[in-house]
Amino acid sequence: MIRVCLLFLSLTTLGVWGKPKEPAEAQCWVVGECLGSNMGVTFTDNKEDCLKACQEATNCEWFTWHSDSKLCNKFSTCPTLDDSCTTCISGENECESDPGSDFQCNVEGECYGDILGTFPNIDGDDCLAECKKNSQCKWYTYYVTQKACLLFGSCDFQAGSCSSQCVSGEQGCGGGVPPVPGQESKIIAITGRDAGKDVELADLPSGYFNQTSITGCSKPMDFPHAMEGAVGAVVNGRVTVCGGRLTGQIYSECYQLDPQAQNWNSVTSPLLARTYAGSVVVPNLGWWVMGGVENLNNNAMTDATEVYDTALDQWNSGPKLPEKLSAFCAVQIDDSRTFIAGGNTVEDAYRYKTYMFDQKQPTWVQKAELIHPREAPACAVYKDNTKLFVIIAGGYNNAGEVSSAEIYDVELNKMAEGPPLPFPLAGARLINDGDNVILVGGQSKAIYQFSGTDWALMPNELKDDNRAYSVILSVSDQSLYGCQSRKNLYYRYP
């Protein structure tokens, strides 16, 4: 009886043909989120780095990488995979590099073939996700302008055939649909306090490129001089910077980045030299530069404003501010309304006041006061459903740098406490990344995304933590050098 049992055990161990059984194949690069014993999280640039983080962690058996936030979860067990998370990629620690790297992804052009489905009014990130949900889907085409998605069972791909912007890719691609050329995908940070003449680039959190992928973007040349407190905007598709100060000097000169020559060219300058001013781009009007300090010897401030007419390449006097003001923040609410908040005057160092200017009724109107007085705050407009709000964060008060933030309801003209910054910060910038608001600069390398209720730390960061009073802008690849060639490449993104 014992010999029979031993024979049975040997047969079951060796299998029918007397060979050891092959181990079960590892599950790799599966769309979905692991629901198991979480061992911790980290941020990684791509899913392969998330796999590596799992392989290097003791007792890690599974990983899940979130392509939207670049969050990497490590798990000791994974009894369940939730496939409703279409931006999640999961796998076991035995996986190797993703074979999907050979797929054609997000190529400019459109498919002609068997249409499986159409999705109007859909974001680019969701187009590929819909393709992954459909077992018959082989390709997708996303039309950026129309925000429309087509799914295909077969594809006769026609490169560059779109009458408007569109991208196509295979079902096996990872992540979401990246921005096409012309959409903002980069942060550019220009000089700033203690940053010298340095200019650096970083990815926007919604961007799918980094400086090491494919061609990358070449780093622009240093700015012509060190300075802080300048104003900047993208004018006629080019990064433009005016004014600022260095020690005892205030500049009036303007410089524009030539994306081809990769250098800074002197362009038409405003009438007044100023620093710590505010500026906004007003649709159908031009670049509006407001207030600031015009004399460092006596800290003289100005209420003068100027508007750069892009069509005529000239500066014209604009409506005066309601008072002489500097170190405030300014945002363009919509096509006609401009909002400013905080700052300082000669009489009052830290301001509670806010104002709105409407081009339809061209006058400044005082609005709800800030809860906390502040100079050098950062602010940005954002939308929650259909309502418009302005987030005003950080800055200085009489006790030093502050972390408080507040939210202005444009429709109700009310100010409310907002989620505080992770730490006190002044001279930083809030910029828009699509529908998101991004905090960059100040005396910090970190980049945060504002969700409406909190500040989420992003995996990318600046290289320099001396970016207080920098010019920081969101820019498209077309405003930079070495990025445009991406549009003719078949490429993968993390």
Query: Are 45 and 127 members of one domain?
Result: no
Last-in-domain residue among 116, 139, 170:
170
On whether both 323 and 467 belong to a single domain, the answer is: yes
Q: 338 versus 434: which is more confidently predicted?
A: 338
CATH number at residue 50: 3.50.4.10
User: Which is more confident, 114 or 69?
Assistant: 114
Last residue of a domain, one of 68, 92, 116: 92
pTM over cut 0.85:
no
Residue 24: inside a domain, yes or no? no
**What is the enclosing helix (H) or strand (E) of 205?**
none
In whole angstroms, what is the distance from residue 449 CA to residue 453 CA?
Answer: 10
User: Is residue 13 one of the residues assigned to a domain?
Assistant: no
Residues 383 and 290 in one domain: yes
Q: Is residue 487 part of a domain?
A: no
Are both 364 and 241 inside the same structural domain? yes
Are residues 226 and 277 located together in one domain of the fold? yes
Give the separation between CA 170 and CA 153, rounded to whole angstroms.
10
CATH code at 376? 2.120.10.80
Residues 164 and 41 reside in one and the same domain:
no
Over the stretch 178-237, which tens digit does the pLDDT of each residue have? 444 445 678 999 999 988 999 998 877 654 333 333 335 678 899 999 999 999 999 988
Q: Are residues 266 and 403 in the same domain?
A: yes
Query: Span 430-434, mean pLDDT?
Result: 88
pLDDT confidence bin for 414, thresholds 50/70/90? very high
pLDDT at 312 over 70: yes
Whether 458 is in a domain gets the answer yes
In the structure encoding, which two tokens stand for residue 47, read together? 């899913």
Task: Indicate whether 295 and 211 sit together in one domain.
Answer: yes
Question: Are 453 and 324 within one domain?
Answer: yes
Look at residue 293 and tell me if it is in a domain. Answer: yes
Whole-number average pLDDT of the chain: 83
75 and 220 part of one domain: no
CB 105 within 8 Å of CB 492: yes
For residue 485, tell me if it sits in a domain: no
Give me the number of domains the chain comprises.
3
**Domain assignment of residue 144, given as a range:** 107-170
Output the DSSP codes for 348-403: -SSB--EEEEETTEEEEEEEPPPSS-BBS-EEEEEEETTEEEEEEE--EETTEE--
- Check whether residue 244 and residue 361 sit in a common domain: yes
Residues 113, 227 within the same domain: no
Q: Tokens for 187, please give them.
A: 């942060």
- pLDDT for 68: 63
Range from 2-16, 54-68, 287-301, 402-416 carrying the lowest mean pLDDT: 2-16
- Look at residue 286 and tell me if it is in a domain: yes
Kind and range of the H or E run holding 130: helix 124-133
Identify the domain boundary among 64, 92, 120.
92
Residue 9 placed within a domain: no
pLDDT given at position 13? 37
